[in-house]
Amino acid sequence: MIDLDDLRARPEAYEAAAKNKRLKVSVSRFLKLYTLRKKLIEHVEEMRGNNNSVSKRVPDMKGKEKEDALSEMKELGKTLKEREEELARTEDQWKAMQLELPSIPHERVPIGKDETGNKEVKRWGDIPKFAFEPKDHVALGEALDIIDIPRGVKIAGARSYFLKGDGARLEMAIMQFALESLRKKGWTLFSPPLMAGWECLMGTGFFPGAEEQTYAVGAQPKRGERIEADDLYLIGTSEVSVCSYHKDEVLPESALPTRYCGFSSCFRRESGTYGKDTKGLYRVHQFQKVEQVVLCRAAEDEAMKIFEEIRTNAEEVLQMLELPYRVLDICTGDMGKGKVFMQDIETYMPSRKAYGETHSCSYLGDFQARRLNIRYEDSSGKKRFVHTLNNTCIASPRILIPLLEIYQNEDGSVTIPKVLRPYMSGQEAIEPR
């Protein structure tokens, strides 16, 4: 949701944002709807006032005067009902269109139609070279008995998997390492709800738009019954729960910026990705993630500094793991409607012979705060909407792809990165069974 006063002041900027983000929403049509809604509200209120005025005089009337007044009230009531119904329909359209309007991208955002318009801005680390024929993470995982995809599929269908033994331990070590790195910097850890209501998904900008990617939770079935979805949804990122933590609250300015990290399982349907990245652990339905979420003052310069901070937190984790990566500025056509600025981190994956996305960092201005009604009171006593940011610190099992493939040895073992060994009882390698 955006500032409607700003929209009316510079509609051409929002029209350009919608076009560059490839959104099918018309700013000019919304403004016409806004004008119609305003006129209907004025008309309905005037009619209600007239109706009330006549009804107050009726008790003192007699004869034909009273009959005429009652007839007038009947006609007025009929017309009023029609106008109220028209206003209700217009209100519904107005509210629905508001949810489709975009934030204006930051001046640094490259204009492009899709991922081909993304711009690489940084690389770190060397691409690995092997003196032997390297295996992909699936072959390694099966040989080491730490990944079992066939039995995952047997239990929960395509894009499901088991991590077992040292594979499960390795994932937990990565999560603990990332969480500890943020804790040392003063971040507050959240273990959030894994289910959220429609308002939270709408508030964070996932609805409307990501319904097909989201698992809806069913109500309690009777024996042998399959039922329709309830109004709860499994989160695709803890951003949904953690960003909604202060929903409908007014925070003191001294509480900002918040630095929250959510650790949770995440769930995505991956609808529309049939046949895409089906092999291995790259695109799965369930995964673990440590997400950074920040609420800050309504100051773009401050927010952009925090953006650098949270992206750097993720980079430092990758550097400590000694995994080569690159940073991309995401173009207009590849970013969501609420994003003001966005960067992805892609980590090198030998089996793909390319970098693959492992982190996504976003600044959304007051887009989410307006939807969630999160404000703060500034030094002058004025209530303002906060600005929000989020970034992946680490996500698994996708991060296991570069880790297993880069740290593999000729004998089939996988060396455990030094920074993870304290979380695995000092173990130095995962050996073939």
Lowest mean pLDDT among 114-123, 264-273, 288-297: 264-273
Structural domain ending residue among the three candidates 98, 126, 156: 98
Q: Which one from 283, 326, 352, 421 is the annotated catalytic residue?
A: 283
Q: Is 8 a catalytic residue?
A: no
Are 57 and 169 members of one domain? no
User: Is the confidence at residue 106, as pLDDT, over 90?
Assistant: yes
**Residue 103: inside a domain, yes or no?**
no
What is the pLDDT at residue 226?
67
Residue indicated by tokens 């309504």? 298
Buried b vs exposed e over 322-334: b needs ≥16 C-beta within 10 Å? ebbbbbbbbbbbb
Compare 230 and 267 and report the one with higher pLDDT. Answer: 267
Cβ atoms within 10 A of the Cβ of 125, count? 16
**Residue 341: inside a domain, yes or no?**
yes
288 strand-pairing partners:
265, 396
In tens, the pLDDT along 120-142 reads 999 999 999 999 999 999 999 99
What is the pLDDT at residue 334?
97
Q: Which one from 103, 241, 244, 360 is the annotated catalytic residue?
A: 360
Q: Which one from 84, 302, 315, 357 is the annotated catalytic residue?
A: 357
**Residue 105: inside a domain, yes or no?**
no
Q: What is the count of structural domains for the chain?
A: 2
State the CATH number of the domain containing residue 55.
1.10.287.40
**Residue 109: inside a domain, yes or no?**
no
Q: Is 357 a catalytic residue?
A: yes
**Residue 332: inside a domain, yes or no?**
yes
Residue indicated by tokens 């995952």? 152
Are 91 and 120 members of one domain? no
**Contact between residue 279 and residue 138 where contact means Cβ atoms under 8 Å apart:** yes
**Contact between residue 396 and residue 281 where contact means Cβ atoms under 8 Å apart:** no
Residue 145: Cβ-neighbour burial (10 angstroms; 0-12, 13-18, 19+): middle
Are 202 and 344 members of one domain? yes
Are 125 and 28 members of one domain? no
State the CATH number of the domain containing residue 224.
3.30.930.10
Residue-number span of the structural domain to which 23 is assigned: 4-98
Mean pLDDT computed over every residue of the chain: 93
Question: Which residue, 264, 261, 265, is CA-closest to 243?
Answer: 261
**Residue 104: inside a domain, yes or no?**
no
**Residue 23: inside a domain, yes or no?**
yes
Q: What H or E segment, with its residue span, contains residue 200?
A: helix 198-203
Are 187 and 51 members of one domain? no
What is the pLDDT at residue 316?
98
Q: Is 283 a catalytic residue?
A: yes
Are 205 and 281 members of one domain? yes
Q: CA 304 to CA 294: how far, in whole Å?
A: 12
Helices (H) and strands (E) in the chain, counts: 12, 18
Mean pLDDT of 418-423: 98
